[in-house]
Structure formats: structure tokens, C-alpha cells
């Protein structure tokens, strides 16, 4: 069934919600960043945000993902954009990265840290940052403390560890970072390069695999996710968290 998931996601411009403007906005909050930073993009997917970072920064980017076809796509994109000299692509597991301690000025992760768990990722990746290095993560959060029962029940199953967006601050601080900034990802960022093309792909794949009940259940599950966001986007979404390593 993993092949079915990858067949869906490999075709999408982004493998999760996001947009170029939000990536730029978060990067611009790194006010004291050095001129030639070393940046690690964790869970980069096919590199939509990686390419934006490469254009914004004068430094180098290490882009890591555990799915080799995503990395191959990023390499092709980087070559077409003339950015391959700035982007080092790595196939690897975010939970077992072997990079040298203190290698990076910035660690960036859009919509991927929750694979490990937000708090676990923050603690695990901290050693890779240089003193006063930045960590930028987008995380799925509640925007409201009171939410309709239907969407509450949905995420109790889909992401039971989901937090209210302000409750993330204490997790950041206890992990040894100071909060630099926060903003919610706009709702349209879920649609342009993610859900809208995903719905088209699902329609194609339903026809392709119409005799396979197991794959149809996967398509139903993804469609339910899309329908939930269409109905309840005011209550939840991704928050961008910009933080900086402290000496703790």
C-alpha cells in the first residue's frame, strides 16, 4: 500500500500544505543569520521550499528525505533552476541523521516534524545546530480551543497529539529554544499546490484501481481528510514556529 501513497504524492507540487510566500516570511524572521549559512531541510519531499530557500540564501542547503524518488525529483528541479551547486541531496531517516554535531545555522522542516513527534524532533535535532542556530518548523495545530465534535473526533484518531497553537510555546522553551515568531499558514496554502491537485489525482487513481477495494479505502481516507479541511479550516491548520537555540 505504500506504493499507492507514493504514487499519489510523487505527482503533487507539494507533499503537504505550504506556499512560497510563507517560506519567505519565515526566513525573513531569521534576523541575525550569518551571510553564508548552512541549512538543513528535513523531510524536504520534492523540494518546493528547498528551492525557495536556495534562492533566498547565499549559503548551502542539505535536503533530506527518506523517499529516494522525491530526492530524484528535487535534483532535477535544482538542475533546471541552476541551483544544484547549492543543494546537497540526501536520502535518509530524519530520526537517525548522522550529520556532525553543530553543523548547521538553520534547520528547516515544513510539515514533517510530526512524523517523529514535535517535541521529540526539537530535542533530537538541537545538537545539529550551532550556538544560537535557528529552527523553523511548521506544525499542525488547533487555532481554537473550542472545536466541533466531528473534527475533534477526526484528529483524535488522525493526530491525537495535536496541540492548541499557543501551547506549543512552552514545548519550544522546555526543549531549549527561544521563540522568535509564529504565524498561521493561510488556508489557501492547503489548496493550490496540495489538495486541489490531490483531488484530481485521486479521481484518476480511482479509475485506475477501481477493482481493488484496499486502494479504494486509501482514496476514501485521503478524501475524508480533504473534506474535513474544506469544512473546518477555521479551527485548525499549520502554524509556522521560528525559534532559536539557547545555551540551556
> Residues 180-197: pLDDT tens digits?
999 999 999 999 999 999
Query: Could you tell me the CATH number of the domain that includes residue 31?
Result: 3.40.50.150
Residue 9 belongs to some domain of the structure: yes
What's the rounded mean pLDDT across residues 164-184?
Answer: 97
CA dihedral (13, 18, 23, 24) in degrees, to 10, reads 80
Nine-digit cell at 193? 499546490
Residue 213 included in any domain: no
Residue with cell 523531510: 43
> Please, what is the average pLDDT of the chain?
96
User: What pLDDT does residue 171 have?
Assistant: 97
Provide the domain limits for residue 36.
2-190+229-245
The verdict on residue 219 lying in a domain is no
Question: Other CB atoms closer than 10 Å to residue 230's CB: what's the count?
Answer: 13
**pLDDT, tens digit, for every residue of 113-134?**
999 999 999 999 999 999 999 9
Taking a C-beta distance cutoff of 8 angstroms, is the pair 146, 173 a contact? no
| In the predicted structure, residue 214 carries a pLDDT above the cut 90 | no
Evaluate whether residue 103 is within a structural domain: yes
Grid cell 498561521 is found at 184
Q: Is residue 140 part of a domain?
A: yes
Cα–Cα distance measured from residue 26 to residue 180, given in angstroms and rounded to the nearest whole number: 10
Return the higher-pLDDT residue of 171 and 1. 171
pTM of the predicted model as reported, rounded to 2 decimal places: 0.95
Query: d(Cα 248, Cα 245) in Å, to the nearest integer?
Result: 8
Count of domains for the chain? 1
**Percent above pLDDT 70 for the chain:** 99
Taking the C-alpha atoms of residue 143 and residue 233, their distance in angstroms, rounded to an integer, is 9
Instruction: Please say if the pLDDT value at position 139 is more than 90.
Output: yes
Please report the pLDDT score of residue 156 as a whole number.
97
Average pLDDT over residues 53-74: 97
Amino acid at each position: 500500500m505504500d506504493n499507492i501513497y507514493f504514487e499519489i504524492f510523487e505527482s503533487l507540487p507539494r507533499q503537504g500544505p505550504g506556499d512560497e510566500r510563507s517560506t519567505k516570511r519565515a526566513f525573513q524572521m531569521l534576523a541575525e543569520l550569518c551571510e553564508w549559512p548552512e541549512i538543513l531541510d528535513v523531510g524536504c519531499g520534492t523540494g518546493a521550499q528547498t528551492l525557495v530557500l536556495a534562492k533566498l540564501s547565499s549559503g548551502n542547503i542539505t535536503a533530506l528525505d527518506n523517499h529516494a524518488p522525491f530526492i530524484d525529483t528535487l535534483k532535477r528541479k535544482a538542475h533546471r533552476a541552476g541551483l544544484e551547486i547549492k543543494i546537497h541531496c540526501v536520502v535518509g531517516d530524519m530520526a537517525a541523521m548522522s550529520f556532525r554535531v553543530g553543523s548547521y545555522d538553520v534547520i528547516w522542516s515544513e510539515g514533517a516534524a510530526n512524523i517523529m513527534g514535535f517535541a521529540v524532533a526539537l530535542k533530537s535535532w538541537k545538537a545539529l545546530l550551532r550556538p544560537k542556530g535557528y529552527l523553523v518548523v511548521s506544525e499542525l495545530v488547533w487555532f481554537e480551543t473550542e472545536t466541533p465534535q466531528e473534527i475533534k473526533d477526526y484528529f483524535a484518531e488522525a493526530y491525537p497529539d495535536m496541540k492548541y497553537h499557543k501551547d506549543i510555546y512552552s514545548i519550544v522553551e522546555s526543549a531549549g529554544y527561544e521563540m522568535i515568531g509564529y504565524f498561521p499558514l493561510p488556508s489557501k496554502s492547503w489548496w493550490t499546490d496540495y489538495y486541489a491537485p490531490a483531488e484530481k489525482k485521486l479521481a484518476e487513481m480511482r479509475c485506475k484501481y477501481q477493482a481493488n477495494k484496499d486502494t479504494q479505502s486509501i482514496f476514501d481516507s485521503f478524501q475524508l481528510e480533504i473534506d474535513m479541511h474544506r469544512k473546518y479550516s477555521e479551527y485548525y491548520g499549520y502554524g509556522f514556529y521560528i525559534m532559536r537555540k539557547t545555551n540551556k
